[in-house]
Amino acid sequence: MPFIIITGIPCSGKSKRAEELRLGLKKDNETEVHIVSENEVIKSSGVHKNIIYSNSQKEKEIRGILKSEALRLLGSGSTVILDAGNYIKGYRYELYCATKGIQTTQVTVECCINENEAWSWNETRSEEDCYSKEIFDALVMRYETPNSQNRWDFPLVTLLPTDVCPVEKISTLLYERKPPPPNMSTQSLPASSTTFVYDLDKVTKDLISSVFAARKLGFEGDGVKLSGFSDITLDHFQSHQTPAQLARMRRQFLQYTKLNPPPANSSSDKIAQLFVQFINSNI
């Protein structure tokens, strides 16, 4: 189901916008809408946010928790709003790839605010929720502004503090737009054969071993038969081919086959034939 990434500097009104969207989308679309809140995750950790943001490892752990929880809820069929700074461009790209892989729509909502106004809001907060000046300035400096020309930030909705939350517009972007088609890199292996990866690894290893055995016996030239594989021959086999060259071919074949798997009912012999064809075409 659809995914909304809220982004902005500290105290820019992200949580307010997340709640407005949750209520508006739930009312207009009669769908379950969940907010995954960075503030709530930090509070549950028992560590003050200033300590979290001053330690890159702790902050990375928080981001991992947020991403995991957001994807879990998306998998359950709910609309999910990620209420966090999301200030790292690479992190937003990771989220984009994840949602693209499960073929759902995504919208980025940026909460824009003047830095001085944001700091003034911060000073009105309780000690538990307040950023130190050092951490506030660091987060503002590290903030990587979304760009609608980047596919992972598109479509981008930019909101000022005085703007009315455009629930209807965001609803249209989420529910009336087709998700981007998945890349090969975001596709999962077919679930029809739980032994596919094991068979692929074993057959290619065994076949490489047979090639080495044929070389030790002095075989070379056209139509070299391989021990253990009936009706399979190696064309143009040369004895000077090194183990490193064959190992490189195997790695290339594994990578290609995982992205372009054969039919689900393919046997081990079929995998071996495909591998030999791959070797023959690369010798």
Tokens of 116: 């001085």
The pLDDT assigned to 214 comes to 67
Examine the domain organization and report whether 200 and 172 are in the same domain.
no
Are 241 and 165 members of one domain?
no
217 and 141 in a common domain: no
The count of structural domains within the chain is: 2
In sequence order, which ranges of 105-160 are alpha helices (DSSP H)? 115-123, 133-142
Give the confidence band of 11 by pLDDT, cuts at 50, 70, 90.
Answer: very high
**Looking at the domain assignment, is residue 191 inside a domain?**
no
Q: Does residue 255 form part of some domain?
A: yes
Question: Rounded to 5 degrees, what are φ and ψ at 63?
Answer: -60, -40
Same domain assignment for residues 211 and 177:
no
As a whole number of angstroms, the distance between CA 146 and CA 111 comes to 11
For the segment 200-219, the average pLDDT, to the nearest whole number, is 75
> What domain range is 203 assigned to?
196-282
Reported confidence tier of residue 76, pLDDT bands at 50, 70, 90: confident
pLDDT of amino acid 220: 57
pLDDT over threshold 70, residue 218: no
Overall average pLDDT of the 191-217 stretch? 72
pLDDT at position 226: 62
37 and 169, same domain (yes or no): yes
**Confidence band (pLDDT; 50, 70, 90) for 196?**
confident
pLDDT of residue 191: 42
Measure the CA–CA gap between 169 and 139, rounded to whole angstroms: 29
**Scanning the structure block, which residue is given the tokens 């982004």?**
7
Does residue 38 sit in the same domain as residue 169?
yes
Whether residues 71 and 112 share a domain: the answer is: yes
Both 175 and 200 in one domain: the answer is no
* Among 10, 8, 24, residue whose Cα is nearest residue 167: 24
Residue after which a domain boundary falls, among 138, 159, 186: 186
Residues 182, 125, single domain; the answer is: yes
pLDDT of residue 158: 97
Q: Do 78 and 174 meet the contact criterion of CB atoms below 8 Å apart?
A: no
- Which of 131, 164, 186 corresponds to the end of one domain? 186
Residue 274 · residue 196 · CB < 8 Å: no
